Chains A and B, each alone.
Chain A
Amino acid sequence: MPVLRQLDPLERPSVIGENVRYDDVNLRIAGIVTAPTPKGWLIGFGVAFLFVMLFMAAVTYLFARGIGIWGVNVPVAWGFAIVNFVWWIGIGHAGTLISAILLLLHQEWRTSINRFTEAMTLFAVACAGVFPILHLGRPWFFYWLFPYPSEMQIWPQFRSPLMWDVFAVSTYGTVSLLFWYVGLIPDFATMRDLARTRGKQMLWGVLALGWRGSAHHWKQYQMAYLLLAGLATPLVVSVHSIVSLDFSVGIVPGWHSTIFPPYFVAGAIFSGFAMVVTLILPIRHFYHLEDFITIRHLDNMAKILLVTGLIVGYGYLMETFIAWYSGNIFERFMVLNRILGPYWWVWALVVICNVMTPQVFWSKRMRVNLPVLFAASLAINVGMWVERYMIVVVSLHRDFMPGAWGMYSGTIWDWSTLLGTFGLFLALLFLFIRGVPMLSMAELRELVPSPRKERK
C-alpha cells in the first residue's frame, strides 16, 4: 500500500528478492494462472476431490440417518463436530491477522502472503461453518438460528453464546470475503489487460468492476481497503473469543474459565500460522516463489509461532494453577483426570506438540530450516486439534457425578467428515491457486527494489 509504505524504502532491507524486477511480478504470478495446467496440480486436485466426495458421502449418510451415526452420546454430547469447528475457525485467524492487523502495523512483509492467507481464511471458515449446522440434528432448520420475523413469534435465545457464534462467524465470513475481493480488484484488472481472448477479457473485466487504475481509483481503493482492515481488526479478537464463550459460559469443569477468550485467540493465531506455514512451504517450492516468499517471511512466521505458542502454554499453566489455587475439587479433579486419566495421551500430545515443539524456534537456524519448520508446523496443527479434543471431550467425559461418567471415541463417520473437510479445504485452495493470482501483484509491484544503478 503506497500510503503505508516507509518513506524511504532503501532504509530497510527488501521484503522480496533483490533481483526481482518490475515485470517479473506480473510475469511470474499471473503466469501461474495463464500457463497450462501442470500435471502436479491435476493430481493434487484429484486427490483433494476424492476427499470432497468422501465428505459428501458422510454428510448424505448423516442427513439420512441423523447424528446417531456419530460417536456423540451422553455424557459426551459434543464431539468431533465441535472440535473440528473450533479447529477450522481458529485456522482462519492467521489470514485476518495478516491482512488486517499487520497492514495497520505497517508490516510490509505481509504483502507476499496476505492474499493466500485470506483465501485460506475463507475456506477454513467454510469448513468450520459446516459443522455446527451438521450438528443441529435437523440441519434443514438451520435458518431458525437467524432472528427473522417467523410465524412462530419467537426469537432465538440471544443470551446463548451459540447464538453469538452465528453472528460472529457469519460476520467473519462476510468481512473476510469482502476484504479478499477488494484486494483482488487491481489484480483482476491486470489479468484482464493480460488476457488475449475476448472471453477471458470479459470474464476478468467483470470481476475487475471497471478498474482502470487511475489516481482517483487508487485513492478510493486505499481508503476502502484501510476501512475494511479497520473493520476486520476486531474480528481477529472477537470471533474466537465468542467461540470460547460457547464453553466458558457452561459450568463444566475444564470449560468454566475466564482465561478462555484470550487463550483461545492466541491458540487460533497459533494454529492459523502453523497452517500457513504448512501450506506455503510446498507452494513456494512447487511454484518457485522463493523470491516473493523469502526466508525472512518464514523467519517471521516462526517467531509468531513461538510467541503464540508461549501464550498458549501460559494458558495451560494457568488452568492448572487455578485448579489448585481455587480449591475447587471438581476443577482439581479435571486437571488430574486430564493428565492421569484414560485420555492421558491427549494431554501428552498437547504438551509435546503445542508447548515443546515451538521451543525449537528460539534458534534462528531452526527457524529458517525448512524441513524443521514444516515438521513443526504439522505437529502444531495436530496439537491444536488435539487440544480442542482435550477441551471438548476430556472435560465432558468425567464431570461432576461419577455415575454419569463415560468414554467417547469418534466413529468412522466422524473421521470421514473430518477428512472430508480436509478435501474440501484443499480442493478450494487448489482452485484458488489455479484460478486467481495467489499473491497480490499490485502490492508486490510496490515492493520491487529499485534497480541497482539508481541506488547509488
Chain B
Amino acid sequence: MGALKKIAEKRNAFRHFRLERSEVSLQSEPVSQLFHPASNALARFTIVGVLCGITALSTWAYAHFRSDYFTHRTLVQQQPIPFSHEHHVSGLGIECQYCHTTVEVSSYAGIPNTETCMSCHSQIWTNAAYLAPLRESLRTGKRLRWTRVNDLPDYVFFNHSIHIKKGIGCESCHGRVDKMPLMSKAHSLQMGWCLDCHRDPAKFIRPREEVYSMGYLPKPSQEVVGARLVAAYDAKPKTDCYTCHR
C-alpha cells in the first residue's frame, strides 16, 4: 500500500508541475486508452490481409484474362445452320479449300457462298428442316449470316496466304476442325499466342503438302523437321508492331 501511495503522490506532483507550466488551455491531457488491446492484432492482420488481397487479386487477374471464359475459346456460337465440320471433313473428306477458296491467295480464307453448299445440297438432304435457311437464301439471294468464330480485332492485319505459303497448317490455329461437330475457337487468339509462333516458327512449321492435313505427325520429330523447313521456306516471321498493326 505504501508503495502505491508513493507512486500516486509522484504522479500528482508531476501533474501539478505540468499544470503550472501550462498557461494555455491547449495542453495535452492524459488520454485514457483509446484502442482495445486487440487493435494491434487487427493492424497486423490488416497489413497481412492487404498483401494477401493484392496477391489474390493479381492471381485472379492473371488466370481470368487467360481463361476460356474470357477468351471464348471452346465457346460454341449461335449459327443459322448447325454446320458440322466433323461430318464434312472427316466424314466426307472434303478439302478445306473446297469451301474456303481464297486461303492460298488472299488475306481472307473465304466463307462459302450459298451456291457452294447447294452443289451438294441440291441433291442430298434437300428437305432437311435445318437446311431451310440455306434454301431460303438461294431463293431470296440473301446470303447466310454466319457468326465469326475465329474473330481477330480489327486492328490486327492477319493474312492467311502467307501463313499457308510458309507451311503453317490450318490445324495449328484452328485446331482439330475434323473433330468439331460445332465450330469453336481452338486457341485464345491472344497476342501472346500469336507471338509463341512468330518468335519460334520451328515449333509449328510443317511441310507444305501437309498444310491441310488434320492430325499431322512430324517424322522423325518436330525439332528436326522444324529447323529444316524454316530454312527451306525462308520462314522469318517478324515481331515488329507494324507487322500486324498498321
A residues within 8 Å of B by Cβ? Answer: 23, 26-27, 30-31, 34, 149-154, 190, 192-194, 201-202, 205, 209-210
B residues within 8 Å of A by Cβ? Answer: 21-24, 26-29, 31, 34-35, 39-40, 43, 62, 65-66, 188, 190-192, 195-196
Question: Most chain-A Cβ atoms within 10 A of its Cβ — which of B34, B39, B62?
Answer: B34
**Looking at the complex, which one of A31, A193, A202 makes contact with B28 (CB distance below 8 Å)?**
A193
A23-B192 contact given A151-B65, A151-B66, CB 8 Å threshold: no
Given contacts A151-B190, A151-B192, A154-B195, 8 further A-B contacts (CB under 8 A): A149-B62, A151-B65, A152-B192, A152-B195, A193-B31, A201-B34, A210-B40, A210-B43
Nearest-neighbor residue (CB-CB) of A152 within chain B: B191
Question: Most chain-A Cβ atoms within 10 A of its Cβ — which of B24, B29, B66?
Answer: B24
CA distance A210 to B39 in the complex (A): 10
What chain B residues lie within 8 Å of A210 (beta carbons)? 35, 39-40, 43
What chain B residues lie within 8 Å of A150 (beta carbons)? 192
What chain A residues lie within 8 Å of B31 (beta carbons)? 192-193, 201
CA distance A149 to B59 in the complex (A): 11
Q: How many A-B residue pairs have CB under 8 A?
A: 52
What chain B residues lie within 8 Å of A151 (beta carbons)? 65-66, 188, 190-192
Is the beta-carbon distance between B195 and A153 smaller than 8 angstroms?
Answer: yes
Is the beta-carbon distance between B192 and A153 smaller than 8 angstroms?
Answer: yes
Q: Lowest 6 CB-CB distances: which A-B pairs, in order?
A: A153-B192, A193-B28, A152-B191, A151-B190, A205-B34, A27-B26
Q: Would you call the interface of chain B mostly helix, strand, loop, or mixed? A: loop
Is the beta-carbon distance between B28 and A194 smaller than 8 angstroms?
Answer: yes
Nearest-neighbor residue (CB-CB) of B39 within chain A: A210
CA distance A190 to B29 in the complex (A): 11
Residue pairs across A and B with Cβ atoms less than 8 A apart, 20 shown, are: A23-B21, A23-B27, A26-B27, A27-B24, A149-B62, A151-B65, A151-B192, A152-B190, A152-B192, A153-B191, A153-B192, A153-B196, A154-B191, A190-B28, A192-B31, A193-B28, A193-B29, A202-B34, A210-B35, A210-B39
CA distance A402 to B34 in the complex (A): 72
Question: Most chain-B Cβ atoms within 10 A of its Cβ — which of A150, A153, A202?
Answer: A153
Is the beta-carbon distance between A23 and B35 smaller than 8 angstroms?
Answer: no
Question: Most chain-A Cβ atoms within 10 A of its Cβ — which of B31, B40, B62?
Answer: B31
CA distance A30 to B28 in the complex (A): 11
What chain A residues lie within 8 Å of B23 (beta carbons)? 23
CA distance A18 to B1 in the complex (A): 47
- B150 → chain A, closest Cβ, in Å? 17
What chain A residues lie within 8 Å of B27 (beta carbons)? 23, 26, 194
CA distance A296 to B216 in the complex (A): 85
What chain A residues lie within 8 Å of B195 (beta carbons)? 152-154
